């Protein structure tokens, strides 16, 4: 039975970790994710979990410890943000190529510089090609639910990849919201016991984790890794379906909001989706056929599914909370446009809007103006920035 309460996104992520009761948590504090290992260390001190908490000297060490634990055959988790994730970058690639299903709570924050501690997606987007599954949360409820599903997804025998559960720094991580949580026993029954097929401490098998990849084999290894990412799409859907059956909250690769007859739409990731929904509701009251697609799963990227969902729109704004410095917008814009092109969607005119950098606010009125631009007869800019001083 679900329990109603109020908590922040960081508290929700930490509660999920307590209920999962992983074998190892290794973490180094960095704003705004610091509270997560802080809560977990308290759980350990209070005897609420059996977890081995490893207080390391850096985020690079945190990921190293998690990799060693997973290679030894146990569940490992960590949390980080911004420059902390950047310090992990080398090992993010190694963890994925070694097929170690670590779970990372990523509290999104602008990647220095200039120094800034507020919401931006530049940290996780910078790691988008590292081979990690990436799932984004709109609010504390989704941060909690996504954490509960992460191990089931990453540890599936067809996947065996690390999973990054992302939420927006301060906006989601520190704001108190109403949330439904589950009983400990129900959570542990849902997640199950981790039984890795291969690990370093198996006396019946000699295993090497992370050996040098000679040229004759690297292509095959990377293709196998890519195939696992392809398989992850169906596994995410299957685990989400099972989650909905048990706990009543349904998720897919993305959420379609009032898209049934939409003519103009916005595609977005993260907490600003809630603000955009309010704008859609206002516009619908005025007869504007506005819709929203909130992307939940960025890796594996649901290109075909998005093309189908967006193909009926006359105009689409793709919202990026990070800049690709490409001259044509951000990473989400590039991938969505590639998906539309790859699947023959030529009717939908797109603009890529960079917004909210360094925590800059975006309001309901801003989204209303975006929809107004999409519905006008004027030519849309290829890319634009919104909310900054000229």
Q: What is the predicted pLDDT for the residue at 188?
A: 97
Tell me, yes or no, whether 175 and 193 share the same domain.
yes
Q: What is the predicted pLDDT for the residue at 186?
A: 98
Q: What is the predicted pLDDT for the residue at 113?
A: 85
Tell me, yes or no, whether 13 and 153 share the same domain.
yes
Tell me, yes or no, whether 241 and 268 share the same domain.
no
The Cα–Cα gap between 367 and 269 comes to 14
- Which residue in the block uniquely carries the two structure tokens 């530049």? 122
In Å, how far from its chain's centre is CA 185? 26
Per DSSP, the three-state class of 194 is coil
Measuring CA to CA, which residue among 6, 5, 29, 247 is closest to residue 146?
A: 247
**CATH code assigned at 311:** 3.40.50.920
Tell me, yes or no, whether 295 and 266 share the same domain.
yes
Tell whether the torsion through CA atoms of 210, 216, 220 and 226 is positive or negative: positive
Which phi and psi angles does 319 have, rounded to 5°? -100, 125
**Total domains in the fold of the chain:** 2
Q: What is the predicted pLDDT for the residue at 9?
A: 98
Here the tokens at position 348 are 């939908």
Q: What is the predicted pLDDT for the residue at 377?
A: 85
Out of 247, 278, 297, a domain closes at: 247
DSSP 159: T
> Residue 222, Cβ neighbours under 10 Å: how many?
13
Tell me, yes or no, whether 185 and 308 share the same domain.
no
The Cα–Cα gap between 25 and 17 comes to 9
Here the tokens at position 88 are 């992990």
In which domain, by residue range, is 324 found?
Answer: 254-385
DSSP 329: -
Tell me, yes or no, whether 38 and 99 share the same domain.
yes
Tell me, yes or no, whether 207 and 170 share the same domain.
yes
**CATH code assigned at 46:** 3.40.50.970
Where would I find the H helices in the chain? 9-20, 35-45, 59-71, 82-97, 122-126, 140-154, 184-191, 215-247, 272-285, 303-310, 331-342, 364-375
Q: What is the predicted pLDDT for the residue at 125?
A: 98
The Cα–Cα gap between 149 and 143 comes to 10
pLDDT by position in tens, the chain (length 390)? 799 999 999 999 999 999 999 999 999 999 999 999 999 999 999 999 999 999 999 999 999 999 999 999 999 999 999 999 999 999 999 999 999 999 999 999 999 889 999 999 999 999 999 999 999 999 999 999 999 999 999 999 999 999 999 999 999 999 999 999 999 999 999 999 999 999 999 999 998 999 899 999 999 999 999 999 999 999 999 999 999 999 999 999 999 999 999 999 999 999 999 999 999 999 999 999 999 999 999 999 999 999 999 999 999 999 999 999 998 889 999 999 999 999 999 999 999 999 999 999 999 999 999 999 999 989 999 999 999 887
Tell me, yes or no, whether 236 and 275 share the same domain.
no
Tell me, yes or no, whether 9 and 145 share the same domain.
yes
Residue 61 domain-assigned (yes or no): yes
Residue 78 domain-assigned (yes or no): yes
Tell me, yes or no, whether 303 and 240 share the same domain.
no
Out of 247, 266, 281, a domain closes at: 247
Which phi and psi angles does 379 have, rounded to 5°? -70, 135
Q: What is the predicted pLDDT for the residue at 202?
A: 92
Tell me, yes or no, whether 299 and 323 share the same domain.
yes
Residue 390 domain-assigned (yes or no): no
Helix (H) or strand (E) holding 106: strand 103-108
Tell me, yes or no, whether 337 and 225 share the same domain.
no
The answer to whether the CB of 264 falls within 8 A of the CB of 314 is yes
Q: Exposed (0-12), middle (13-18) or buried (19+): which is 314, by Cβ within 10 Å?
A: middle
The answer to whether the CB of 169 falls within 8 A of the CB of 109 is yes
The answer to whether the CB of 2 falls within 8 A of the CB of 53 is no
Out of 203, 225, 247, a domain closes at: 247
Q: What is the predicted pLDDT for the residue at 327?
A: 87
- Which residue in the block uniquely carries the two structure tokens 């690639």? 93
């Amino acid at each position: 039975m679900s329990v109603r309460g109020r908590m922040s996104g960081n508290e929700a992520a930490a509660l999920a970790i307590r209920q999962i009761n992983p074998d190892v948590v290794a973490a180094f504090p960095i704003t705004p994710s610091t509270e997560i290992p802080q809560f977990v260390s308290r759980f350990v001190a209070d005897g609420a979990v059996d977890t081995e908490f490893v207080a390391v000297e850096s985020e690079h060490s945190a990921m190293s410890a998690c990799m060693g634990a997973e290679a030894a055959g146990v569940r490992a988790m960590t949390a980080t943000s911004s420059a902390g994730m950047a310090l992990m970058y080398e090992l993010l690639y190694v963890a994925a190529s070694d097929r170690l299903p670590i779970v990372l709570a990523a509290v999104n924050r602008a990647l220095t510089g200039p120094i800034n501690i507020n919401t931006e997606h530049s940290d996780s987007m910078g790691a988008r090609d590292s081979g990690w599954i990436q799932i984004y949360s709109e609010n504390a409820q989704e941060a909690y639910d996504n954490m509960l599903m992460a191990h089931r997804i990453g540890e599936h025998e067809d996947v065996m990849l690390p999973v990054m559960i992302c939420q927006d720094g301060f906006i989601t991580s520190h704001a108190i919201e109403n949330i439904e949580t589950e009983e400990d026993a129900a959570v542990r029954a849902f997640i199950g016991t981790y039984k890795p097929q291969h690990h370093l401490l198996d006396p019946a098998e000699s295993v090497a984790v992370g050996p040098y990849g000679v040229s004759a084999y690297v292509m095959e290894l990377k293709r196998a890794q890519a195939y696992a990412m392809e398989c992850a799409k169906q596994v995410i859907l299957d685990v989400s379906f099972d989650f909905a059956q048990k706990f009543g909250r349904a998720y897919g690769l993305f959420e379609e909001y009032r898209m049934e007859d939409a003519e103009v739409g916005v595609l977005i990731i993260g907490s600003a989706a809630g603000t955009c929904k309010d704008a859609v509701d206002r516009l619908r009251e005025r007869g504007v056929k506005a819709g929203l697609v909130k992307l939940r799963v960025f890796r594996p990227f649901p290109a075909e599914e998005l093309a189908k969902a967006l193909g009926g729109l006359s105009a689409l704004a793709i919202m990026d909370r990070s800049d690709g410095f490409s001259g044509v917008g951000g990473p989400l814009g590039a991938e969505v446009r590639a998906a539309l092109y790859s699947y023959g969607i030529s009717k939908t005119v797109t603009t890529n809007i960079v917004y909210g950098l360094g925590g800059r606010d975006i309001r309901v009125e801003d989204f209303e103006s975006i929809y107004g631009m999409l519905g006008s007869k004027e030519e849309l800019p290829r890319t634009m920035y919104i909310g900054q001083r000229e």
